[in-house]
Amino acid sequence: GSSSKSSSKSSSSASSSAAGSASSSGAASTNTAACGSKAGAPATGSPINIGTIDTHQPGTDFTDGPNMITAYFNCVNANGGVHGHPLKLFVQLDQTQPSQVAAAAKQLIQSDHVVAIDGVFDLLECTIDQSFWKQLGIYEMDAGIAPECWSTPNSAPVNMGPRYSSDGAVQYALNSVHASKIVFVQSNVPGTGYIAGGPAALAKAAHVPITELTENVPITDASSVAVNLVDAAGANGSVVLNFTPPEALVILQAVQKLGLEDRVKSWGCSTPCDTDFLAKALGPKWNHKLFVNAEAVDADDHNGPEIQLYKAILAKYGSSVAGGIGSFSQFGFLLAKFLVQALDTVKGPYTMKSVNAAIVGIKGYHSEQLCDPWTYGKLALHIPNNSDYTVTPDNGKMITAQGCTQISAADPQIAQYRSVAKAHGVNLG
């Protein structure tokens, strides 16, 4: 059995910050009040424990996600909680070691007694813990990378993930740029091999030749890579990158340095390239030359009530969100919002069973940040975010190049999801 050792790790100090916010008043608190049911009333009931597992290692830090969830929870707790119950997030960090990820899951369940898993931003977690969650009847909500995040019954992500985002970028090159050839390049980090399957299927369906390349990361000779990509694509081809922002930037800058932007018809990139930083770092030559698949709206450009709430929470509770506004905290916000919305539907005690029943029952939750409403459902696989849009740099900013578009069902995984979702009664746009 497990010891009764109390863990003093990075759980949200919900009560203290809730008390703090109660005394402070003003514009911010009225803005953030929308996150809870009773504005300004701190939650005092027994806490509802939520767990998450996130990658945090030298070079890869995904903690902005859970930190944003904690910020959201603090906001909720200061404004009535969930039926008076405060939310408490237990965060387990890992260094991409499988054993650690497995141990973290057990720690959350056995020592921290969490009732749900929400907000997993991790490189491996979906793969490793799937069978454990299934065994316990837990339905996790995450923003993942590992294939199991989308291909298993007990996981549903808010993000689109590298494969379907790459699909989107390739789809744009095929349908909108009309490239006569696709060069799809990504890192050869293990476990990412499955991604190329989507772009390959799309290109095949369009009868366009596709070359799939992998590069060792970190990239140490970006110029060589750049030249190689341009040579491979040819003047009427498109190059589509699927890398993390630093790697993508390194390649695109090398392209720029060597003056190769115009040697191909267009450049494409999966979601990670969707940052203003990249737009700024690249010159105006890239305007309408680079097309980036965007999974969620650009928070800087939008100002609906949800985005306003997001920014207000970030300002008031999000001091630990190091990156500020960005896709990690946006997804963190969404994961928290959907969970709270689901918890609100629970009648009676918050047990693992009742809470997970509510989570798996999520259907058609709307968000300003996503193209389609979000649904969980007892499905064999979950790709609830499968429709998005495309952005392009425009003098230092990313602007929309194409509005919401469904990812092509030429990718067999998407086709399979659509058929099971349809059977489940999910309305897909």
- 51-80: contacts with another protein (CB under 8 A): 56-64
Residue 226 CB, shortest distance to another protein, in Å, is 9
Token pair belonging to 230: 């341009």
Least distance in angstroms from the C-beta of 259 to another protein: 5
Nearer to another protein, 82 or 114 (CB): 114
Is residue 100 at the binding interface for another protein, with CB under 8 A as the rule? Answer: yes
| Residues belonging to the chain | 429
Q: Which is nearer to another protein, 1 or 26 (CB)?
A: 1
- Considering only residues 397 to 426 of the shown chain, the ones binding another protein according to CB under 8 A are 413
Nearer to another protein, 6 or 23 (CB): 6
| Closest CB to another protein among residues 69, 177 | 69
- What is the phi/psi pair of residue 21, to 5°? -75, -25
How far apart are CB 79 and another protein at their closest, in Å?
Answer: 26
The DSSP result for 290-327, as a single string, is EEEEESS--TTT--SHHHHHHHHHHHHH-TT-TT-SSH
- Site stretch for another protein (CB under 8 A), options 124-132, 288-296, 300-308, 354-362: 124-132
Cα–Cα distance, 208 to 81 (Å, whole number) = 53
Cβ distance to another protein smaller for residue 73 or 350: 73
Cβ closest to another protein, residue 147 vs residue 268: 147
Nearest approach, Cβ of residue 245 and another protein (Å)? 4
Cβ proximity to another protein: between 158 and 343 the closer is 158
Smallest gap from Cβ 343 to another protein, in A, equals 25
Q: Is 349 in the site for another protein (CB under 8 A)?
A: no
Tokens of 75: 């906001």
Judged by CB under 8 A, the residue of 227, 357, 399, 404 near another protein is 227
Q: Could you tell me the sign of the dihedral formed by the alpha carbons of 376, 136, 74, 38, in that order?
A: positive
Q: Minimum distance from CB of 63 to another protein (Å)? A: 8
With CB under 8 A as the contact rule, which of the stretches 30-38, 141-149, 355-363, 370-378 interacts with another protein?
Answer: 141-149
**What is the spatial distance between Cα 89 and Cα 281, in angstroms, rounded to a whole number?**
36
Chain position carrying tokens 């290692």: 57
Among 102, 315, 409, 420, binds another protein (CB under 8 A): 102
Q: Going by C-beta distance under 8 Å and a sequence separation of 6 or more, which residues neighbour residue 284?
A: 395
**Counting contacts by CB under 8 A, is residue 194 touching another protein?**
yes
SS3 249: helix
Whole-angstrom Cα distance, residue 94 to residue 126? 13
Q: Per rule CB under 8 A, is residue 119 in the interface with another protein?
A: no
d(CA 327, CA 114): 26
Would you say 14 or 177 has its CB closer to another protein? Answer: 14
Find out whether 174 and 182 touch, Cβ atoms under 8 Å: yes
Question: Which of 220, 214, 323, 317 is closest to 276 using CA atoms?
Answer: 323
**What's the Cα-to-Cα distance from 387 to each of 145, 374, 394, 428, rounded to whole Å?**
18, 11, 23, 9
Q: Is 35 in the site for another protein (CB under 8 A)?
A: no
Which two tokens mark 236? 């009427």
Per-residue binding string, another protein, 245-284, x by CB under 8 A, is: xxxxxx--x---xxxx-----------x--x-xx--x---
